[in-house]
Amino acid sequence: MKKFLSLMLALIMVLCAVPALADVAADIEAGQAMTHEELVEKALAESGTFVAYGTTSRIKKAAAAFSEKYGIPQNSNNMKDIDIYDKIANENVDMVMIQDGAQLLGAIEHGILANFVPASVKDSISEHDQYPLAHQFTNKVFIYNVLGDDVPAIRNVWELTDPAMKDRIIFKKPTDEQVNMNFLVMLTSPEWSARLEEAYKEWKGENIDLGSYKTAGHKWIAEFLPNCVFGKSDTNIAEEISQETAEGKIGLFVLSKLRSSSVYAENLMPAQYAASAEGYEIKPFAGFMYPIYNMISTNANRPYTAMLFIEYLMSEEGFSFWSDSIGAYSGNSAIPEKEGDLPLSVWKDTLVVEDPEYILEYGLDVEDFVGPYLQ
Amino acid sequence: MEQTQTGKIHLSRLKGRARAWFSKPANIILLFFLVTLTVLTLYPLLSMLTETFTVHLGREERATKLSIGAFTTYHFQRVFATSANDYSWIQFYKPLLNTLAVSVTSSVFAILFGGVVAFLVTRTNLKYKKFVSAVFTFPYIMPSWTLALFWETFFKNVNIGLKTSNGIMASVFGVFMPEWFVYGFFPISLVLGLHYAPFAYILIGGILRNMDANLEEAATILKTNRSRIIWKITLPIVKPAMLSTFLLVFASSMSAYSVPVFLGSPVRYYVLSTSMKSLMNSYKGQAYIIVAVMILFGVAILMLSQKVTNSRKQFTTVTGKSGQISKINLGKANVPIAIILVIVLLLVAIVPLVTFALESVIIKAGDYSLSNMTLDFWIGTGLEKRLDQGDSTGILLNPVVWRALGTSLALAITCAVIAGTSGILVGYGVAKRRGSRLSNWVNSLSFFPYLMPSLAFGAIYLAMASKISWLHGFLLMALAGSVKYLPFASRSGVNAMLQLSGEIEEAALITGVPWWKRMLRVIFPIQKSSFLSGYLLPMVSCMRELSLFVLLVPTSDTILTTMLMQYSEKGWAQFGNAINLLIIIVVLLVNFTVNKLTGASIDKGVGG
């Protein structure tokens, strides 16, 4: 009887949910082929408050400007990706700006989120960045304090595994922000392990001895993390490393934090900036990079508004809320990086970019492996 | 025929009994709260327990290779019995040991500090008593992270933690404290102990103030020396209060989250609550198991506490005959002790406020020169171009901050009204039917929310509300807050009612005064200040609550505390410090206004 009841309940839930999912999916299908004007018309015909959540704080400014432009009431907020998923599970959300591609692929697979590429900008987004749609890229790079005699101007990431670097590296705890963990996971991939092996040889002049480690990525993680101190937030790390009293320190944090007035930016140097200026390469990477994706929630009340907002965000006008500082790169290749910053193509070559498929497959094992090194 | 006759008689007797039972308001009240509290506390607990056997979206699904919602014992195996990569040790056993160490130490510290101060204030001729007793509850009224934040800002230095900058102690006074003093076990225990010391002060102080002087006087007549009197008479009398404090502080410290995060994380010192929070992001099932373990400890504590309360009956501490208690003359030690106490209290209660004010006006951390100061974070405009550190206007010119303050106050008042009124009713019901099973159940159920860690309580309420579409936002927060703070109100309600002699109400009953009039005109006025305290404590707690509401707010700028958390996560320290100061000032103002207008005070709420 109990089984029968729960079966019936599940059936009812599925029957109730399917039309909503199908509706939004059909709307997106139709929306992909629409012009800007058609999207506007459809969006204005929708009712209720447009709800958008994002992992970037500037979504609030962008949504407010969008709301003013089209006269659509909005409720937007900045929250962590995990809280965004909780929100979607419990209430109607229209659109999200979210990071952690692996978790996102799972959500798409379960029909929680759906991908949409606006026809008006499709041609200027690389095919790879269209699914899931990357709105922008954020880079976390090695940045060091330039004061004192012992400046950690690294040229090879294996230098960071040296016992002499103990407590000199500041990083955000990988379990506090999944993209940091994703970076570590990526290092165990065949591609990055091979590059790390090569870099090791260059550094030590001999072949790497993996010992009990599965890959060079595992070895690097195991020797890098014990040298780290974990900061509270990227802003906090930037502020702390920029202090006069922080000579000899190096951090791995968001490049755009250099813009903040609470940071003594003149005391800091992104390792890749130095490398580009002096014409050397940091072996084999200068940090990591991850996209922030634009997605439509399948329980959206205003799916066309969500599509219009995504189109807006992918435009130069919509990206203006991020483009005023270094460290933000639009997925739309027609929008250039901020003057004084390096172009996205350079960063893509020098940074570890997350591969959601690989993380989905091997992430759990690597996370377990990382655990003891966080203690 | 005869049988049906007997049946009818039986039935009518039953009906009569039922009518008599329902004619007593206390029974109806108890029944109502039994049902309501079962729905609002036991149901969430059960739904949480089912989550510990369920596969969730994301990692759990991938790890178990089962579909979402499927039954699994994977979470239990991971939390308790996974030796690969020391998983269980890292996620559960080690944090558990740390939690126990911190909770025991903070409880002992709270009792020592609170107890000694209570003794000095009630039983000696200490100077500056008024100041001491007024300021001593400050640390409890202030959000718990206040002291932790202050501790770090004040004592950090380039030799410890991030090893990047100096706090006030190092940069101004040139004193570099060692790491064990600034981060980890010691400061976490100390800060929690300081935060909860008012519990000890109120509970132990209450007994010391009211205890029968005859016992000590008899001993004095028999020429017993002072220290022997304290060891043989005073201490045994306050022992139950000390144990109650121990249990209360232990349970509170166990679920404390912000203090261990601020003072533990920089040196990789983790406790159960931090482990639970980090698992909540990726492995919900395991996080809920940790919550269940914390609740188990809580229940064990509750049972112990009930034993202790029962044993308290052996001591007749309040006889009504107690005359003037003889006060110990501290003599030459009086002034030094008083000065030390005042300095400690200033350090704990006033200096943090000054620090926050200072930190909210400096542009770059660590530079306290005038040229690095600005009021922009309070009253500036157009800041996105000049500072680019969060909002574009100072907090006092930001309508979002004012709206959040309004919502915080509205929420606090709503929770206080619901919890406070329920507390009085529960108190009435429990006291009237004292000793009955129904009364005991309702009494225990109304205390149960105290044992649930706030973060988990919020998470469960969010999940519960997902099935009820209209119950979101403010309503849900008000409901969760009212239930979570009911223990404070019900404790003071029960205690206030137990002090009332039944004759008072009976006199009104004989003259035919209806129940609601008896409550409003007779009972409430007599115990007014105790009841109002039952409103005040939920209100103050609600104003400074973060963990409970963090998942329930529609957006993080809905209330002040979640706004503060967002600012602090973003690293917008100055805005964060300004908002923190605003919260503290509002909470203190609310506390003092209510106190001055009605005579209610936190003391009565906590101690009951």
Dump pLDDT digits (tens) for B591-608.
Answer: 888 878 877 666 554 433
CA distance A3 to chain B (A): 13
**DSSP H/E element including A67:** helix A59-70
* Chain A residue with Cα closest to B552: A87
Between A220 and B301, the more confident residue is: A220
* pLDDT reading at A242 higher than 90: yes
* pLDDT reading at A203 higher than 90: yes
Phi-psi sector, B145: left (phi>0), alpha (psi -120 to 50), beta: alpha
Contact B162 A91 (CB under 8 A): no
Does any domain span residue B249? yes
- A178 vs A173: CA distance, rounded Å: 9
* pLDDT reading at A309 higher than 50: yes
For residue A56, what are its two tokens?
């970037």
Residues in CB range of B600: below 8 A, 6 or more apart:
B529, B530, B531, B532, B533, B535, B536, B594
Contact B162 A240 (CB under 8 A): yes
* pLDDT reading at B453 higher than 90: no
Between B321 and B219, the more confident residue is: B219
Does any domain span residue B523? no
* pLDDT reading at B217 higher than 90: no
The percent of residues in chain B predicted with pLDDT above 70, rounded, is 92
Dump pLDDT digits (tens) for B494-537.
Answer: 877 877 777 777 778 888 888 888 888 877 887 777 778 788 88
> In 3D, which of A181, A174, A185 has the Cα closest to residue A214?
A185
The percent of residues in chain A predicted with pLDDT above 70, rounded, is 94
Burial annotation A212-234 (CB, 10 A radius, 16+ → b, else e) = ebebbbbbbbbbbbbbbbbbbbb
Contact B571 A167 (CB under 8 A): no
* pLDDT reading at B429 higher than 60: yes
Query: What is chain A's mean pLDDT, rounded?
Result: 90
Contact B566 A78 (CB under 8 A): yes
Does any domain span residue B174? yes
Q: Which of the residue ranges A139-143, B222-226, B545-549 has the most confident prediction, judged by mean pLDDT? A: A139-143
How many CB atoms are located within 10 Å of the residue B87 CB?
18
Q: Which of the residue ranges B47-56, B327-336, B386-395, B534-543 has the most confident prediction, judged by mean pLDDT? A: B47-56
Q: Which of the residue ranges B4-18, B108-122, B235-249 has the most confident prediction, judged by mean pLDDT? A: B108-122
In A, which residues are within 8 Å of B268 by CB distance?
230, 374-375
Q: Tell me, yes or no, if B311 comes closer than 8 A to chain A by beta carbon.
A: no
Q: B392-399, long-range: CB within 8 Å, 24+ apart, which pairs?
A: B394/B578, B395/B575, B395/B578, B395/B579, B395/B582
3-state helix vs strand vs coil in chain A, percent to 5: 50, 15, 30
> Can you tell me the mean pLDDT for B155-178?
90
> In 3D, which of B576, B570, B560 has the Cα closest to residue B377?
B576
CA dihedral B190, B193, B198, B203 (to 10 degrees): -140
Size of interface A-B (CB pairs under 8 A): 146
In B, which residues are within 8 Å of A175 by CB distance?
278, 281-282
Compute CA distances A197 → A193, A194, A208, whole Å: 6, 5, 6
Does any domain span residue B445? no
Q: Tell me, yes or no, if B165 comes closer than 8 A to chain A by beta carbon.
A: yes
For residue B449, what are its two tokens?
């929310």
Full-model pTM: 0.86
The percent of residues in chain B predicted with pLDDT above 90, rounded, is 28
| Confidence at residue B604, expressed as pLDDT on a 0 to 100 scale | 53
Task: Say if residue B538 is preceded by a cis peptide, omega within 30 of 0.
Answer: no
Q: Cα B256 vs. chain centroid, distance in angstroms?
A: 9
Between B434 and A266, the more confident residue is: A266
* Chain B residue with Cα closest to A256: B388
Counting the structural domains of chain B, the total is: 1
Provide Rg for chain A, Cα atoms.
Answer: 22
CATH of the domain at B257: 1.10.3720.10
- Give me the residue from A75, A178, A229 closest to B555, CB to CB: A75
- B130 vs B113: CA distance, rounded Å: 17
User: B37-51, B217-231, B445-459: which range is least confident on average?
Assistant: B217-231
Dump pLDDT digits (tens) for B102-135.
Answer: 999 999 999 999 999 988 988 888 888 888 888 8
Residues in CB range of B205: below 8 A, 6 or more apart:
B114, B118, B121, B122, B603, B607
| Confidence at residue A21, expressed as pLDDT on a 0 to 100 scale | 55
> Can you tell me the mean pLDDT for A230-253?
92
| Confidence at residue B309, expressed as pLDDT on a 0 to 100 scale | 60
Tracing tokens 């308001």 back to the chain, one arrives at B25
Q: How confident is the model at residue A2 (pLDDT cuts 50, 70, 90)?
A: very low
> In 3D, which of A328, A351, A326, A360 has the Cα closest to residue A341?
A326
Does any domain span residue B170? yes
Q: Are strands A113-114 and A287-297 parallel, antiparallel or unpaired?
A: antiparallel
Does any domain span residue B408? no
Does any domain span residue B182? yes
* pLDDT reading at B66 higher than 60: yes
In A, which residues are within 8 Å of B387 by CB distance?
260-262
Contact B266 A230 (CB under 8 A): yes
| Confidence at residue B551, expressed as pLDDT on a 0 to 100 scale | 76
* pLDDT reading at A108 higher than 90: yes
Dump pLDDT digits (tens) for A22-62.
Answer: 589 999 999 999 999 999 999 999 999 999 999 988 898 99
Contact A243 B365 (CB under 8 A): yes
Does any domain span residue B457? no
* pLDDT reading at A317 higher than 80: yes
* pLDDT reading at A239 higher than 80: yes
Tracing tokens 């004040």 back to the chain, one arrives at B154
* Chain A residue with Cα closest to B566: A79
Interface of B with A in 355-374 (CB under 8 A): 363-366
Mutation choice for A interface testing from B77, B164, B168, B263 by most A CBs within 10 A: B164
Amino acid at position B203, single letter: L
* Domain assignment of residue B229, given as a range: 89-317+327-371
Instruction: State the number of CA atoms in the 13 A half-sphere of B290 facing the CB.
Output: 31
In B, which residues are within 8 Å of A229 by CB distance?
161-163, 266
What structural domains does chain A harbor? Answer: 2-136+291-341 (3.40.190.10), 138-290+356-374 (3.40.190.10)
| Confidence at residue B308, expressed as pLDDT on a 0 to 100 scale | 65
